[in-house]
Amino acid sequence: MMIRIISLILACILLMAGCTTKQEILDDINLITLIGYDHTDDRKSQGTVAVPQYKPDGTVQNEYYSAIGEIGQDIGQQLALQTQRPLVNGKLEIVLFGIEFAEKGVIETNDIFRRDPSVSANMKLAVYDGNVHDFIVNHRIPNQDLGMALTKLIEQNSKQETFPRTNIHLFFRTYFTKGKDPFLPLLGMKDGKVYLKGVSLFKEGKMVSALPASDLTMFTLLHSGFDSGSFVLPVKELNAEVSLGHIDAEPKVEMRGNVNSPQITYTIKLKGLINEYSGDIKGIEKKVKLIEKSVNSVLEKRAESLINSLQQQGLDPLGIGKRANAHYRDWDVKEWNEQYPELDIKVKFQTNITESGVIR
């Protein structure tokens, strides 16, 4: 019995010692949560990091360090000269690229983080419409970790189904996939607040274009579908607007014809309910079929317009080429890229409104 008691005491002492050691280690390092990159005029890059400092009173204050260098390792060495404690990537939440930097290419930089075992595969990547250094240094979010705040912004939009799920793992998986181009969130500032401005589109690792915020919901629907999405759409026939919620929709792509003359059709069965309706709600149950028809027409036009815009730019973030590669045995990526902009891609919506208990 005495031996058992002594063993328990020793175990508690070792456990407490372990916790103390871990605390001392954390006190001796700087945990980076945000790294930003800008392209400079002299063909060098500027790296800026944000390090949250947790105060004894429970508040959070962000510290910032910045350096200019030719390659990532050079910037890292310059940053190390400015700090009393080592900078560590173990809690890195997000890497943010200025547009000029993104246009030069992000693969080499991202590959460093992809190969770092301390960096999570769920780490976010994003492009900022402006100078990242100025944003990180000047932007103030009271009592919040800036890296964590930006990550939550992106994750919140993914949960609300206004942006597809994204992280460094998915970015590289798409980059290495034939017939699909990667994309990243595009962030901006408005009225002193950071927001999701659109979609930054990439070709061969370089940002070449962007979609505006008005295309976000349709882009997400065509890319990933909805589990509980939403749309606000006009119903011209009734001179009204309808808000559809709790939308369940899964895009299915049908391939017909041969690889030299493919016939491609998106078919999207959409189920949802009417949350709000701006017109006369009297007898709305009798108007549901007309609303469904109008919704189909509006969404088909928007979807085909978005796909056509991507085709004209030779960009395929929706992975239509990837689907063709799986369907056609003799698919060739070079030949596909040549014919892709000219393909006639149809979109058909089949809307089913399951409830119409609406409010104005």
* pLDDT beyond 60 at 18: no
Do 85 and 116 lie in a common domain?
Answer: yes
Do 185 and 325 lie in a common domain?
Answer: no
pLDDT at 131: 96
- Whether pTM exceeds 0.95: no
Q: What is the dihedral of CA 289, 290, 294, 297, to 10 degrees?
A: 60
* pLDDT beyond 90 at 34: yes
Tell me the three state secondary structure of residue 309.
Answer: helix
Do 173 and 46 lie in a common domain?
Answer: yes
d(CA 174, CA 76): 28
Residue 356: which pLDDT band, with cuts at 50, 70 and 90? low
Do 265 and 205 lie in a common domain?
Answer: no
Do 143 and 275 lie in a common domain?
Answer: no
d(CA 6, CA 17): 16
Across residues 142-160, what is the average pLDDT?
94
Do 151 and 294 lie in a common domain?
Answer: no
Do 97 and 159 lie in a common domain?
Answer: yes
Q: Is residue 219 in a domain? A: no
d(CA 2, CA 47): 59
Across residues 249-277, what is the average pLDDT?
94
Tens digits of per-residue pLDDT, 195-251?
Answer: 999 999 999 999 999 999 999 999 999 999 999 999 999 999 999 999 999 999 999
Residue 58: which pLDDT band, with cuts at 50, 70 and 90? confident
Q: Is residue 4 in a domain? A: no
| Torsional class of 328: left (φ above 0), alpha (ψ -120 to 50), beta (otherwise) | beta
pLDDT at 61: 83
d(CA 20, CA 253): 57
Q: Is residue 19 in a domain? A: no
d(CA 345, CA 70): 44
For a pLDDT cut of 90, what percent of the chain falls above it?
71
Last residue of a domain, one of 213, 240, 255: 213
Across residues 17-38, what is the average pLDDT?
67
Q: Is residue 17 in a domain? A: no
d(CA 240, CA 25): 62
* pLDDT beyond 60 at 13: no
Tens digits of per-residue pLDDT, 309-352?
Answer: 999 999 999 999 999 999 999 999 999 999 999 999 999 999 99
Write the CATH number for 233. Answer: 3.30.300.210
Within 183-287, residue ranges assigned H as helices are 216-224
Find the domain containing 193 and state its range. Answer: 28-213
Across residues 286-298, what is the average pLDDT?
94
Residues 116/89, Cβ–Cβ less than 8 Å: yes
Do 84 and 209 lie in a common domain?
Answer: yes
What's the DSSP call for residue 161?
A: T
Residues sharing a CB contact under 8 Å with residue 299, sequence separation 6 or more, in sequence order: 218, 231, 233, 268, 270, 347, 349, 351
pLDDT at 4: 45
pLDDT at 286: 87
Ranked by mean pLDDT, the top range of 23-27, 52-56, 303-307, 351-355 is 303-307
Neighbours of 135 (CB within 10 A): 22
* pLDDT beyond 50 at 9: no
Query: What is the overall mean pLDDT for the chain?
Result: 88
* pLDDT beyond 70 at 73: no
Do 32 and 154 lie in a common domain?
Answer: yes
Q: How many domains does the chain have?
A: 2
Do 197 and 319 lie in a common domain?
Answer: no
d(CA 8, CA 118): 34
pLDDT at 37: 96
* pLDDT beyond 80 at 49: yes
What's the DSSP call for residue 12?
A: H
Residues 197/213, Cβ–Cβ less than 8 Å: yes
